[in-house]
Structure 1
């Protein structure tokens, strides 16, 4: 009999690919949605790459409430907790981000340990294993924990750190059959299954459409969504992954490099991509006087810190693809799905 894997937040970008690859791998999959009305959208998205008939089921459960989680994990062998309840939160309010992320993870773990689930793989973020200072250069690994008390941290980084820390603390105090593994991705790009949940790939869409007329001096550790799912599945099944953190970042790539990759690789479809880099001072001035939303990115200007994926490569045999391939596949997928307006 095939193992049953629960994937949280089935309508999400990463979750959709997790569901698809699990089905391709012969697993039976159950996924959570916040309401019944989201089921068909998940089926439609997954159906673009694999037939889910008879092997995909649903449970209604919300990370912000206790109801439904025991039913969601009943009869489940493993859990991929990839969902995050941050979509509607005000990113400027620390509590609006921290409480849902932390409490949602604990709801999943409580239900999983009660049900005796074999392993939970939780998606954290590389931002939870980063030096507090964005100015720090060098390479860090999973042994580093971001300091959540650093007053310079943006709320998102603090929320991801505290949520993962709470998960490990919970497991330390709940010995039993259930094992925890965490995966800490970088900036996730790659092909889409649906235009309904674009996530971070919207950045590429803005570049292609010409909406981003200037590029800030920001570097991203780009990981392909397909490679991120691959490392989740490896972490789910490898005996050596139990109780471990795994960074899953990709090549460090400046956004201006991304722009050049798109402009050079897309032909006529890349004609609107701007490669003009905006000076740091201009971004800071705009954040202060014209666009407060830019305040979230100003600490990252010029940051060169990178993360080592040696552990995932050594323990799990993980091999991510080049960033340029991911960026172009992402762009072509957006164009194919009609997610970019060309004039």
Structure 2
């Protein structure tokens, strides 16, 4: 086994970040876990300088995930400005940088063409505020060729241990409770958070450039069927996408008024209808990435949510 590393992890209190920290510690690495903005507000260059001292690797997980269709200044400040500050920190301390991006940062391929790793990123060619900011940030990391850097592009994250209740976790929880009796027709690529974390831990020591850490294309119909079978509830009704699109705008406004973001927005419906497929062979080959079946992820996810 290789010598232990000192790894600084931003966003260490998030869904992916908590698994990265746990797996790093399990293999004996020393971890400086920056769990929330109180520990290190990545938007503040001075705070980043104070929080990140000498280390071997920086894993940058901190980000604002949103299903809004526009770029909000606060999202860009974290996802782009924060990434720039982390790049500067990696240069200052001489650390390897593992940046967690997203498949949404990649320009979509034409229908029927499997998407692979990108050689450049352009926010003007992707849809949605999150995708645009992640594309811009990935371009900054890729341009920092004076650093050892790896960019990880996960798809939708499933699995146990979500401390912040992401959109997919909320979807599963509401299916379990019976609150959500209808799901939208469509789907996307989804992957277990633990398997992405394992690839990131490997990337702390090896690899270069960009890697897709994706799983399998899964429909919301399939997720609804598996989850409701596990908890003994009736399967949800499938709502045609065109009907959901009609109700998306008022649902977004109601969500803002009530302080509860809707599960389905215009942007999320666009994503669910895209039908994108991804090739993760490079990550499998070079980072030993081994995504487990989605059903296994959902079984563990449901059991974890039942315990909490």
TM > 0.5 between the two? yes
- RMSD after superposition: 2.3
2:187 is aligned to 219
1:140 CA drift (Å): 1.0
Q: Out of 253, 258, 271, which is 2:233 matched to?
A: 271
1:6 is aligned to 8
C-alpha separation in 2, matches of 1:106 and 1:166? 7
C-alpha separation in 2, matches of 1:313 and 1:80? 20
1:304 CA drift (Å): 1.4
C-alpha separation in 1, matches of 2:119 and 2:274? 17
C-alpha separation in 2, matches of 1:17 and 1:301? 26
2:257 is aligned to none
2:258 is aligned to none
- Does 2:220 align with 1:250? no
1:286 is aligned to 247
1:120 is aligned to 97
Q: Out of 156, 168, 173, which is 2:142 matched to?
A: 168
1:35 CA drift (Å): 5.6
1:102 CA drift (Å): 0.8
- Does 2:97 align with 1:95? no
1:86 CA drift (Å): 5.0
Q: Out of 138, 151, 156, which is 2:130 matched to?
A: 156
Say how many residue pairs are matched: 295
C-alpha separation in 2, matches of 1:219 and 1:63? 33
- Secondary structure of 2:198's match? helix
C-alpha separation in 2, matches of 1:137 and 1:145? 21
Q: Out of 111, 117, 120, which is 2:89 matched to?
A: 111
- Label 1:35 to 1:216 Cα distance change in 2 as closer, same or farther (>3 A): closer
2:203 is aligned to 235
C-alpha separation in 2, matches of 1:106 and 1:290? 35
C-alpha separation in 2, matches of 1:323 and 1:93? 31
C-alpha separation in 2, matches of 1:333 and 1:282? 33
1:93 CA drift (Å): 4.0
- Label 1:130 to 1:259 Cα distance change in 2 as closer, same or farther (>3 A): farther
Unmatched tracts of structure 2, length 5 or more:
254-261
- Label 1:137 to 1:332 Cα distance change in 2 as closer, same or farther (>3 A): same
Q: Out of 97, 114, 137, which is 1:139 matched to?
A: 114
1:19 is aligned to 21
- Secondary structure of 1:307's match? coil
What TM-score results when the alignment is normalised by the length of structure 2?
A: 0.88
Q: Deviations over 1:180-225 (max 9, x none)?
A: 10100000010116xx412242221121112222111221211111
Q: Deviations over 1:155-201 (max 9, x none)?
A: 111111111112222x13xx2xx3110100000010116xx412242
- Label 1:203 to 1:145 Cα distance change in 2 as closer, same or farther (>3 A): farther
Q: Out of 155, 164, 172, which is 1:197 matched to?
A: 164
Pairing 1:77-92 to 2, within 5 Å after superposition: 77-86=56-65, 92=70
1:332 CA drift (Å): 1.2
The answer (yes or no) to whether the contact 1:185–1:249 under 8 Å persists in 2 is yes
C-alpha separation in 2, matches of 1:32 and 1:217? 38
1:16 CA drift (Å): 0.9
